A and B are shown apart, each in its own frame.
Chain A
Amino acid sequence: MPGLITAAALLGLIAAGAALAVLLLVVTAARQALRDLSDRRRERLDGLVRPTLLRAVRSRRIPFEVIQARGRLGRAIDRVTYKYLAQVRGEAHDLLAEVLQRRGNEATTIGMASRWRGNARSRAARRLGLIASPDAVWRLEQLLLDDPSPRVRIVAARALGEVDTPGAAFSLLRSLDAREPGWVPEGIVASALLDLGTSAIPALRHGASEPRNAVRQAMAVDLLGLLKDLPAWEIVARAAESPDPQVRLSAVRAFGQLGMRKATPILIGRLSPGEEPSVRSAAAWALGRLRDPRSAMALKGCLADTGYPVAHNAAQALAALGDTGQQVLTQMAAGDGTAAAHALEALARPAPAPGLRPPVTQPPAIGRPQYRQPRRARAGPR
């Protein structure tokens, strides 16, 4: 009898499990079907509004029905407008941003940036970066500096890199002064500043002159070099005398990027034995970029340095100097010890083309400048 009860219970359990599995399958299939239906409906609506928006872009006139549409159609207009907005700049961008503004979507998105859900604020930050109006930029700056979510702050930083206002660069640099280290990762801030390109230069010059925050100052100096801001020469020269080794390193790297020979005496000064090895190594690299024969003797003095990067970069820099450097290397190669080894190695390599091939141990740069065109065609508030 107990055996029968156990078997019945087991069968009951199996049946219940099977029923549950079937139920789960049905629910999953129903959800998928509903999602597909919703996607198809959304796709159909998007397809309806695309030609209207594209005609507006082409004719540069916004039809009344686009501004007035509400409900599903209105949401489709907003959705497609943002998709197109992400792909264009100039007049087309301004027109699409105006569509959103006149539909009241810009204000809605600014409101969305205050929602308690981080996902909503991230999406709002991305959209505000696309709109790039002065009001949107102001809200983005708030998100960057005050939002409790790191993800939202990162999206806001990237979005600020998309907008073409000098204020955006100041905000990005201010984020490095935030209440706790790593408030926004430095790489993200640097990349966004590079995205801004020349419009970031006023903020970078200010940051590079301001010694209160060494991290910010070092980044600003590095970026001025990468953006080839030659008028910032004096700022970089002052940074090369900073008490902070990171700032001096950035200044030396910036001189290498700027390629101005009047920096030679400063760089030679940074080769002195009392300097940090990383700064000396970068100074040797930068002198190789400047290709100034006046640096030959100072570089020769570094060939016997116990630090491999310093001696290696000095040898490579001598090789880049042309005849003067070659003579020094040939003379040193005839000797013995590590100096001779570095000289022989440098002589065995073909000399780098002017300004194109840095030595193997080039100090790590923050990133490559990507000179982008501003999204907005018009300057100033709409």
Chain B
Amino acid sequence: VIRVLVVDDDAEVRDLVTYTLEDHEVRTASDGDEALREIAAEVPDVVILDIMMPGTSGLKVLELLRADPVTAALPVILLTAKAQEADLDRGYAIGADDYVVKPFSPLELARRVDAVAARRRAG
């Protein structure tokens, strides 16, 4: 079972992703600080991370994860309403593994989660 942490301030997105990934073990966090606490408590296999959140932004969370040796290789999929090149470029520069733009296709997201988790296991 793949353990997934979904980080998004939007309850509807958390609901949709949680139900879409029903075969996975899903935890949720509604902001960046809560996400960091959840990851510190138990490192998941994949993190789905919204960029635009109140408080600690998704990119900051990603930066902190990459700076920590324990989570440096943790697969992260950015989930963002901002399809802007600059954000995604920065996300990739920090070390995001993939991204999905909102509005998103739940099935496509599930496939991407499985793909990054499989890559991590293979690598």
Binding site for B on A (CB under 8 A): 50, 54-55, 57-58, 83-84, 86-93, 368, 370-373, 375, 377
Contact = CB atoms under 8 A, between A and B. Distances in A.
B107 A87 contact: no
Contacts of A86: 12, 103
Contacts of B106: 57-58, 88, 90, 92
A87 B83 contact: no
A91 B12 CA distance: 17
B16 A54 contact: yes
Contacts of B12: 83-84, 86-87
Most chain A C-beta atoms within 10 Å of own C-beta, residue among B12, B102, B103, B106: B103
Contacts of B103: 86-89, 93, 375
B10 to A, nearest CB: 7
Interface of B: 10, 12-13, 15-16, 19-20, 22, 83-85, 101-108
A90 B16 contact: no
A86 B102 CA distance: 9
Contacts of B10: 87
A84 B16 contact: yes
B83 A371 contact: yes
A83 B13 CA distance: 9
Contact of B15 (A50, A370, A377): A50
Contacts of A89: 103-105
Most chain B C-beta atoms within 10 Å of own C-beta, residue among A55, A373, A377: A373
Contacts of B19: 54-55, 57-58
Given A50-B15, A58-B22, A87 B84 contact: no
5 contacts: A58-B20, A58-B22, A90-B108, A92-B107, A368-B85
A77 B108 CA distance: 25
Contacts of B22: 58
Nearest to A56: B19
A57 B84 contact: no
B105 A91 contact: yes
Contacts of A50: 15
Given A54-B16, A87-B12, A88-B16, A368 B84 contact: yes
Contacts of B13: 87
Given A54-B16, A87-B10, A92-B105, 17 more contacts: A57-B16, A57-B19, A84-B16, A86-B103, A87-B12, A87-B16, A88-B16, A88-B104, A89-B104, A89-B105, A90-B107, A92-B16, A368-B84, A370-B84, A371-B83, A372-B101, A375-B103
B85 A87 contact: no
Contacts of B15: 50, 54, 84
A87 B105 contact: no
B57 to A, nearest CB: 19
A371 B101 CA distance: 10
A368 B22 CA distance: 37
A57 B105 CA distance: 11
Contacts of B83: 370-372
Most chain A C-beta atoms within 10 Å of own C-beta, residue among B19, B85, B102: B19
Contacts of A54: 15-16, 19
Contacts of B104: 87-89
A117 B89 CA distance: 44
- In order of increasing CB-CB distance, the 5 nearest A-B pairs are A90-B105, A54-B19, A89-B103, A370-B83, A83-B12
A373 B20 contact: no
A69 B122 CA distance: 48
Contacts of A91: 105, 107
A50 B13 CA distance: 12
B22 to A, nearest CB: 6
Contacts of A377: 105
Most chain A C-beta atoms within 10 Å of own C-beta, residue among B12, B84, B85: B12
Contacts of A57: 16, 19-20, 106
A54 B15 CA distance: 8
Nearest to A54: B19
A84 B85 CA distance: 26
